[in-house]
Amino acid sequence: MAKKKKIVAEEKQESYDFIPKDFDEREFILKDLFGTKILFVATLLAVVVGILAAVIYQSNPDLWYLGMLIAFVVAIGMKKILRVILGFKMDIMDQKSMLGHYLIFLILALGICVVGINAPFM
C-alpha cells in the first residue's frame, strides 16, 4: 500500500527590518566643510615645508635627509598643529580622513621639494 506524503508545515521565517538612523544633513555638511578647511591648511603647510626642504637641500646637498625629516615631523605633529596653533576641533574628524590628509601632505611636500631641487629652480 502506498504511503501518504507527510505535509510539512512551513516555518515562519523571522522578518528583519533594517531601519537606518536619521541622516543629519547639517552635521554632514559641517563635517565636510571642516575636512575641506583642514585639507586647505595641510596643502598650504605642505607648500611651505616643501620649499623649506628644497632650500635646505640647495644650501647643502649633504643635508638631504633634514628636509625629509622636517616633512615627516610636521606630518606626525599636524594634528597638534591644527588643534593648538590654528584652533581646530579635531574630534570632528575621523581617523581615515586624517590619514588621507597626512598622506596628501607628505606627497605634496616631498613633491615640491623634488621639483624645487631640480634644474629650473636650482
pLDDT of 49: 96
How many angstroms separate the CA atoms of 49 and 70, rounded? 7
pLDDT confidence of residue 51:
95
| Residue 50 · residue 108 · CB < 8 Å | yes
**Of 5-14, 68-77, 79-88, where does mean pLDDT reach its minimum?**
5-14
Q: Domain ranges in the chain?
A: 30-121
C-alpha distances in Å from residue 52, one per residue of 2, 15, 28, 119 = 94, 62, 36, 17
CB distance 112 to 42 below 8 Å: no
Q: Is the model's pTM score more than 0.85?
A: no
List own/partner pairs for 30-33 with CB under 8 A and 24 or more apart: 30/92, 31/92, 31/93
